[in-house]
């Protein structure tokens, strides 16, 4: 079984500042990793995923994440955030078809 820990429940950030959301996972087998975003009153939308290959993964809306196997981490970054990035972000892991999600990080972008 896998589990996911998102280390920050809330991250306030100013517009145009960088942001990093931390995600650590535990698993005894190789995994696939995902970041999802949930805007208010909407479902989850995939930002990016790591399946194999390059450990630096680029996603939509200028987000990227780096898979670090030795540290079992998959942190999400964006160099310059916009007001529209205000949302909840979920890290997820799987080694089959069942996703295990973290509790989420709420990002609030202020002008």
Please tell me whether residue 54 binds another protein under the rule CB under 8 A: no
Which of 11, 15, 32, 64 forms a contact with another protein (CB under 8 A)? 32
Which of 19, 102, 105, 107 forms a contact with another protein (CB under 8 A)? 102
54 three-state secondary structure: coil
Please tell me whether residue 35 binds another protein under the rule CB under 8 A: no
Please tell me whether residue 96 binds another protein under the rule CB under 8 A: yes
Q: How far is the CB of 98 from another protein (least distance, A)?
A: 6
What is the dihedral sign for C-alpha 25, 29, 30, 36? negative
Alpha carbon distances (Å) from 87 to 20, 24, 83, 94: 14, 20, 10, 23
Q: How far apart are CA 111 and CA 104, in angstroms?
A: 23
The site for another protein (CB under 8 A) is made up of 4, 9, 32, 34, 36, 41-46, 49, 51, 90, 94, 96-104
């Amino acid at each position: 079984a896998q589990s996911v820990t998102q280390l920050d429940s809330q991250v306030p950030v100013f517009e145009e500042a960088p942001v990093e959301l931390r995600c650590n996972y535990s698993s005894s087998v190789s995994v696939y990793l995902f970041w999802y975003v949930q805007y208010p009153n909407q479902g989850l939308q995939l930002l990016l995923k790591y399946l194999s290959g390059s450990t630096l993964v680029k996603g939509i809306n200028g987000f990227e994440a780096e898979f670090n196997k030795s540290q079992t981490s998959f942190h999400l970054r964006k160099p310059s955030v916009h007001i529209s990035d205000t949302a909840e972000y979920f890290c997820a892991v799987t080694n089959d078809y069942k996703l295990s999600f973290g509790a989420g990080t709420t990002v609030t972008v202020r002008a």
